[in-house]
Amino acid sequence: MIAFPIDLRSDTVTLPSPAMRAAIAAAPVGDDQFGEDPSMNQLQERVAALLGKEAALWLPSGTMANQIALRVLTRPGDDVIVSRECHAVWHETGGSAANAGVQLTEIGARGIFSVEEFLAARKPQGHLLFPPTTLVEIENTHNRAGGVIFPQEEVERICAAAREHTVASFLDGARLWNVAVASGRALDDLAAPFDLVGVALSKGLGAPGGSLLAGSRDLIVRAVRYRRMFGGAMRQVGLFAAAGLYALDHNIDRLADDHANARLIGTRLAQSARILLDLTTVQTNILVFRLATGAPDAATVVARARERGVLIFAFGPRTVRAVTHLDVTTEQCERAADILVECVEAD
């Protein structure tokens, strides 16, 4: 018996498991603003070590992590170079402009860009007219491009070129865990080129909330101030930290299952002439596909799928996203793929 609904809208829909809830219930806690929450201190130290950075700071959301990274690394009026259709441009309700006062310059295609494209887009500092480029931001994996991995050799070249031009670097690694599992690279290798790195506990790792920013002690001290300014400084956050610690212990290696399930769905979808899906983009747990001419539009496909118990997300008029995660089984994914194809192929 396959359980419905099969919720492929996002890996954020994952629920804390009974074992994670038990860890939350048992967590020692204290007032985190006095630095007295032992569970949070442990989580922050552990994530800093995992990412090879001096310090890490927990934040209620990944959006706040991204916004604080901008505050720490830029000044109002600065130019920030980002990948096309990145989270900062599409999913933060304009926060970069409102909170940090920066302009975002999108470059590249399909979630990635080259060092040459970065250098061509960079505006020099101290120019009479140009907004100074002071930060480059890379999103890895890239959500809207379909969970693709940014090639690490290019990351290293871009961050080296940035440093040469006193441009800071930030990694939006909300799903960096997926990169590590899919590529076999260590988290600290992936994070090494960057000044600041953000990671999320609330996506595929299955925690109820929380992201962390990691970097040098100096940068994290500054991030602490902005967390307070943004209203994100909380108290007994060890309850969240316990979920995060549990997730790090139990939910990283299993991301390989999510990747295999996404591959399975993608392979099935790509067989339909009405679905445009480049299977080379299905590298982790996200599928973004387009509906060919003649196929129903995204809203219709989403509505039809919902009626049959499969939840997906319209990313554009003819673009759909599906995401695999720890709360969907391989059998559910097989069934969902068949249902999706039927929804697209029905007239």
Ligand X SMILES: *Cc1c(COP(=O)(O)O)cnc(C)c1O
Q: Which of 100, 200, 205, 241 binds ligand X (CB under 6 A)?
A: 200
Beta-carbon count within 10 A of 317 CB: 10
Taking the least distance from each CB to ligand X, the nearer of 97 and 119 is: 97
Q: Which of 87, 227, 259, 268 binds ligand X (CB under 6 A)?
A: 87
Taking the least distance from each CB to ligand X, the nearer of 241 and 341 is: 241
Taking the least distance from each CB to ligand X, the nearer of 87 and 263 is: 87
Taking the least distance from each CB to ligand X, the nearer of 143 and 272 is: 143
Taking the least distance from each CB to ligand X, the nearer of 111 and 132 is: 111
**Strands (DSSP E) along 14-167, which ranges?**
55-59, 79-83, 103-107, 133-139
Taking the least distance from each CB to ligand X, the nearer of 203 and 268 is: 203
Instruction: For residue 202, state whether it binds ligand X (rule: CB under 6 A).
Output: yes
Task: Supply the minimum distance, in Å, between the C-beta of residue 174 and ligand X.
Answer: 3
Task: Supply the minimum distance, in Å, between the C-beta of residue 32 and ligand X.
Answer: 18
**Strands (DSSP E) along the chain, which ranges?**
6-7, 55-59, 79-83, 103-107, 133-139, 168-173, 196-200, 211-215, 275-276, 286-291, 310-311, 313-316, 319-323
Taking the least distance from each CB to ligand X, the nearer of 66 and 99 is: 66
Q: How many residues bind ligand X (CB under 6 A)?
A: 13
CA distance 168 to 155: 13
Site string for ligand X, 120-159 (x = CB under 6 A): -------------------x---x----------------
Cα–Cα nearest to 141, from 323, 14, 315: 323
Taking the least distance from each CB to ligand X, the nearer of 159 and 200 is: 200
Cα angle 276, 321, 4; round to 5: 115
Site string for ligand X, 204-243 (x = CB under 6 A): -------x--------------------------------
Q: Which of 174, 182, 242, 245 binds ligand X (CB under 6 A)?
A: 174
Task: Supply the minimum distance, in Å, between the C-beta of residue 100 and ligand X.
Answer: 15
Task: Supply the minimum distance, in Å, between the C-beta of residue 144 and ligand X.
Answer: 9
Residue 241: strand, helix, or coil:
helix
Strand 211-215 relative to strand 196-200: parallel, antiparallel, unpaired? antiparallel
Instruction: For residue 178, state whether it binds ligand X (rule: CB under 6 A).
Output: no
Instruction: For residue 281, state whether it binds ligand X (rule: CB under 6 A).
Output: no
Strand 79-83 relative to strand 133-139: parallel, antiparallel, unpaired? parallel
Per DSSP, the residues of 183-237 read H---HHHHHTT-SEEEEESSSTT--SS-EEEEE-HHHHHHHHHHHHHTT---S-T
Residues in the chain: 347
- Residue list 42-81, contact with ligand X (CB under 6 A): 61-63, 66
The closest residue (CB) to ligand X is: 62
Task: Supply the minimum distance, in Å, between the C-beta of residue 59 and ligand X.
Answer: 9
Q: Buried (b) or exposed (e) across 19-34, using 16+ Cβ within 10 A?
A: ebeebbeebebbebee
Token pair recorded at residue 166: 């006193």
Site residues (CB under 6 A) for ligand X? 61-63, 66, 87, 139, 143, 172, 174, 200, 202-203, 211
